[in-house]
Amino acid sequence: MGQKSRFGSIEPLWKWIWKENLHPWMRMILWRAIAGALPTGDKVGAMQLCCFCSKEMESPLHIFVQCPFAVALWFGSPVPIRSSMVSTNSLKSFVIELCSGLEPEPRYRFLLCLAVIIDTLWFFRNECRHGKDPNLNVNDSLSIVWKKYGEFSQYEENGEVVLQKERICTEVDYTGSQKRKLIMVDGSFSKGKISAGFLAWNRDTNDWFYEAKSAVGENAVAAEFWMPSRRRDIPTGSAFPGSLLL
């Protein structure tokens, strides 16, 4: 179809999308958004502002990455990253920046999470554009993202892509303000180093514990993927059972 002249040097990006074990619907969502095939406000005759924040022009990069609503979804998603901290000028370059250097498994998880967030936000966006009130709420939207992520987690069996039912997430609790035992985590990247830290706090007894680790890493997204792997360092004594990870 002569796509090489259209997409230039980003051939690896399309291989990541079409050759990963992503559900076909997720692949199509990614392709449409990254290739600029969605009718966002920056493409229609009358330029339209983002229906979520009403401050910036609606574009794929803004609505799916930079809008405060999108930033909140990314931060609480199954692949938690600070999307607003990634310096890029298009959704395409955002994906390339975060996927480059990743092993297949974390790259698959990132692409699936991206597709789920795009699918969720685009549904709400269309509801707004058609005069409906979707009653947007970050907590409820995150529940949708987590549920879809579980439902579309895939594996290959006998050459066919099938749903991995045991991964389906049926309920997600985001009522962090009501929890008495909290664990707050964060990751960072600078000059070839990644680091992760956490603070565990029992609000009833005021017991608390913190730890920080560092390692060699390639970029910020590597830090975000590495951070959850440090959960084994989180205290598991009587002060912190049933904690909510933030």
Same domain, 38 and 68: yes
Same domain, 219 and 153: no
Same domain, 190 and 101: no
- Three-class DSSP labels, 162-193: EECHHHCCCCCCCCHHHCCEEEEEEEEEECCE
- Looking at the chain, the whole-number percentage of residues with pLDDT higher than 70 is 59
**Parallel/antiparallel/unpaired status of strands 244-245 and 181-190:** parallel
Separation between Cα atoms, residue 36 and residue 245, nearest integer Å: 36
Same domain, 35 and 95: yes
Helix (H) or strand (E) segment spanning residue 225 = helix 220-229
Answer whether 0.75 is exceeded by the pTM: no
Same domain, 25 and 118: yes
- Which of 167, 191, 206 terminates a domain? The answer is 167
Of residues 241 and 62, more confidence is placed in 62
Please say whether the beta carbons of 215 and 226 come within 8 A: yes
Please say whether the beta carbons of 150 and 167 come within 8 A: yes
Q: How many domains does one find in the chain?
A: 2
pLDDT at 191: 67
Separation between Cα atoms, residue 12 and residue 99, nearest integer Å: 10
Average model confidence (pLDDT) for the chain? 75
Same domain, 161 and 226: no
- Which of 167, 192, 208 terminates a domain? The answer is 167
Same domain, 119 and 217: no
Strand order from edge to edge, sheet including 244-245: 208-216, 193-202, 181-190, 244-245
Which range of residues forms the domain containing residue 118? 3-167
3-state secondary structure of 201: strand
Same domain, 16 and 127: yes
Q: Is 159 a residue whose pLDDT tops 50?
A: no
In tens, the pLDDT along 186-215 reads 666 666 776 666 667 676 776 666 666 677
pLDDT at 157: 41
**Residue 242: CB atoms within 10 Å:** 7
Most confident of 51-65, 156-170, 182-196: 51-65
Same domain, 219 and 157: no
3-state secondary structure of 5: helix
Same domain, 157 and 183: no
**Parallel/antiparallel/unpaired status of strands 181-190 and 193-202:** antiparallel
Separation between Cα atoms, residue 91 and residue 101, nearest integer Å: 18
Same domain, 227 and 117: no
- Which of 167, 185, 211 terminates a domain? The answer is 167
Same domain, 32 and 143: yes
Residue 246 one-letter amino acid? L
